[in-house]
Amino acid sequence: MGTAIVIVVIILGALYKIGDNENKKKQEKSSKEEITTESLYKDMSDRWDRDVSEAKEKISQSTETTGNASELESIPTKPDEPGYKEYWLKYDRVGLDFSQDYTVIDIETTGFDHFKDKIVEISAVRVRNHEVVNQFQGFNKNSKLSKFLKENSSITQENMRNGFSTENLLREFISFIGDDTLVGHNVGFDLTFLRYNLHYYELGDLRNDFVDTMLIGKYYANPDWSHHRVDDYIANYPKEIGFDNLTQHTALNDTLIEQRIYEVQRGILGDNFDGEVTSDMLWAMPKVRVAETEEEITQRVRDKKMVDAIRVAIDDKDYSHSNQLINELFEEGVTEHNKLYRRMAMNYKKMGDDNSVLSTIVKWQSNMGGNIGKGDTKWIQNQLERINQVITLNRK
C-alpha cells in the first residue's frame, strides 16, 4: 500500500466488543446449543467485555494515529524477530486508499460471536489491475447452516459436507491470499473471526494490510448516507454494482459485489485518495489483535481444553477422557467454573460411579460456595435425592 498505509494504534480494550450500528448484519444467531457449551463460550466472551470501560477511557485520550513509510521498512515480520510481538500487539495495518492489485475477502458464519460461532464459508477474489483474475471458495464441514443462511443464501448442506475441515480451510485461504492487501466491507468482522481461528488452530498471525470499504463510504465517499450497507450500494449504484442480481450471503458473491463497491468508491474519490484513519473508526477495527500476549496464549490453551472437555463428553461419549481434561484444568488452577464441576459430575453419573458424583459435588460446593446458580443448585439437589433413593433401595 506504500505511503498510503496508515498504522493505527489499537488500544488493548478497544479490540473487544465495541460495537456500532454499522456492524455487518450477516446473519441471525444460530439455534440454541447445549447449555453447557453455550455457557462456556459466554464466559469467554464476558472475560473480554470487562475491558470495555477502560478501553473507552483510553480511546478518548488517544486521538492520534501514528506511522509513516520509513517506519514500515523495519516492521518485524517473523515471530522470532526482536520486537515482533510488541509491534503487532500495538499496531494494525489499516489503510483507506486504493490499490490496483488486491484481494477481496468475505466470510459467512453461524453468528456474530467469534468465541462461540463458527465460520461457514470463506471466499476471496484476487484482483490485478482492477480486474478479477482468480477466486477462492471453501466451506467448513465442521460447521452448520444457521437458520438465517438456510433462508437467505444459496449455501446447501451438501456444500458443507463436501467442504474442508476448519483447519484445512484456513490453510487453503492463507495460501490463496499470500501477502496481498485485503479489501472487504466491514472487514473488521471477517478479520476478527479469521484471526481468532488462526490462533486457535495455531496457524500463525494474519498480518496483511487491509482496507474497509464501509469506512471509506461512511467517512469519505458517501458521508451523507444514513447507512452504508452492501444493500445501500446495490440500490444506489444498480448499473455499476447490482446489474447481474448476484445473491447475497454467500461469501463468494459478496466478494464480487464488494470488489465493485471498492471500484465505485475509487471513481468517486480518485486513484490517489489517501484517507486519514482516526480513533473515531476504532469501533470497526478487528476485535482480535494480530499477535497474542503470553497471557492470551495461556488463556487460549485453557479455553481450548475446556471446550474439548465438554466436546468429548457430548460428541464422543468419552466421559473418562473428559474428566481427565477437567482434572488437568483443576490442577492448573482453573477451579471457578460451575460448568466444569457439573460436567464432571454428569460424566461420573454416565459412568455409573455415584461415589465420584458425590465427591465432585462436595468439591464443587467447597470451591464455589454461594456462587452456584439456581439451576445448578437444583441439579445438585436432584442428584443427592436420586443417590439417596439408590442407597435406600440397596439397604432393603
Tell me, what's the pLDDT at 251?
Answer: 83
- 339 and 265: one domain? no
The SS3 assignment for 272 reads coil
Give the pLDDT mean for 74-103.
89
Per-residue confidence (pLDDT) for residue 204, from 0 to 100: 93
- Longest Cα–Cα distance of the chain, Å, equals 89
Q: Are 212 and 356 in the same domain?
A: no
Indicate the helix (H) or strand (E) that contains 6.
strand 6-9
Same domain, 264 and 369: no
| Residue 19 φ/ψ region, left for φ over 0, alpha for ψ in the -120 to 50 degree band, beta for the rest | beta
Residue showing cell 439397604? 395
Confidence at 77, pLDDT banded by 50, 70, 90:
confident
- Asked if residue 208 lies in contact with residue 99, where contact means CB atoms within 8 angstroms, the answer is no
**Dihedrals phi, psi of 3, to nearest 5 degrees:** -70, -10
Residues 122 and 170 in one domain: yes
Q: Which one has a higher pLDDT value, 102 or 27? A: 102
What's the CA gap between 56 and 261, in Å, rounded?
Answer: 31
- What Å distances lie between residue 392 and 14, 321, 348, 380, CA to CA? 58, 31, 20, 18
Q: Are residues 159 and 211 in the same domain?
A: yes
Q: Do 343 and 236 have their domain in common?
A: no
Q: Are residues 182 and 208 in the same domain?
A: yes
63-77, 90-104, 150-164: least confident range: 63-77
Residues 315 and 255 in one domain: no
Count of the separate structural domains present in the chain: 2
Model-level pTM?
0.75
State residue 157's pLDDT score: 87
Average pLDDT estimate for 344-361 = 96
For residue 31, pLDDT beyond 80: no
Which is more confident, 287 or 61?
Answer: 287
pLDDT of residue 293: 87
- In sign, the C-alpha dihedral spanning 222, 226, 230, 233 is negative
CATH code for the domain in which residue 363 is found: 1.25.40
How far apart (Å, rounded) are the C-alpha atoms in residues 344 and 356?
A: 9
Percent of residues, the chain, with pLDDT higher than 90 = 62
Percent of all residues in the chain with a pLDDT value above 70, rounded to a whole number = 81
Q: Is residue 53 domain-shared with residue 133, that is, in the same domain?
A: yes
As a whole number of angstroms, the distance between CA 370 and CA 378 comes to 13
| pLDDT grade for 1, boundaries at 50, 70 and 90 | low
Helix (H, G, I), strand (E, B) or coil at 275: strand
What is the pLDDT, as a whole number, of residue 207? 94
Regarding whether 225 and 336 lie in a shared domain, the answer is no
Tens-digit pLDDT profile for residues 165-210: 999 999 999 999 999 999 999 999 999 999 999 999 999 999 999 9
Give me the mean pLDDT over the 357-361 stretch: 95
59: nearest Cα among 89, 16, 123: 16
Q: Which helix (H) or strand (E) holds 150?
A: helix 147-152
Single out the residue of 269, 212, 266 nearest to residue 241, CA to CA. Answer: 266
Q: How far apart are CA 207 and CA 197, in angstroms?
A: 14
- Would the CA dihedral through 2, 216, 267, 237 be positive or negative? positive
C-alpha cell at 82: 526482536
What is the reported pLDDT for 53?
40
Question: How confident is the model over 102-111, as a mean pLDDT?
Answer: 96
Per-residue model confidence (pLDDT) at position 47:
46
Mean pLDDT score, 215-224? 97
Model confidence band, residue 74 (pLDDT cutoffs 50, 70, 90) = confident
E-assigned strand segments in 153-219: 182-184, 210-212
Q: What are phi and psi of 101, to 5 degrees?
A: -120, 125
Q: 307 with 343, same domain?
A: yes
55-69 pLDDT, tens digit each: 434 434 443 444 433
pLDDT, residue 154, reads: 85
Domain residues for 339? Answer: 295-395
* Confidence check: pLDDT of 297 > 70: yes
Average pLDDT over residues 281-289: 92
CATH number of the domain to which 22 belongs: 3.30.420.10
Burial class from Cβ neighbours inside 10 Å (0-12, 13-18, 19+) for residue 187 reads buried
pLDDT given for residue 244 in this prediction: 77
Question: Exposure pattern of 134-149 as b/e (b: 16+ CB <10 Å)?
Answer: eebbbbbbbbebbebb
> Measured between alpha carbons, how far is 343 from 327 in angstroms, rounded to an integer?
11
Of 292, 316, 337, which residue is a domain's last?
Answer: 292
| Domain termination residue (choose one: 255, 271, 292) | 292
Among residues 267, 292, 317, the one where a domain terminates is 292
**Average pLDDT of the chain, as a whole number:** 83
Claim to verify: residue 175 and residue 211 sit in the same structural domain: yes
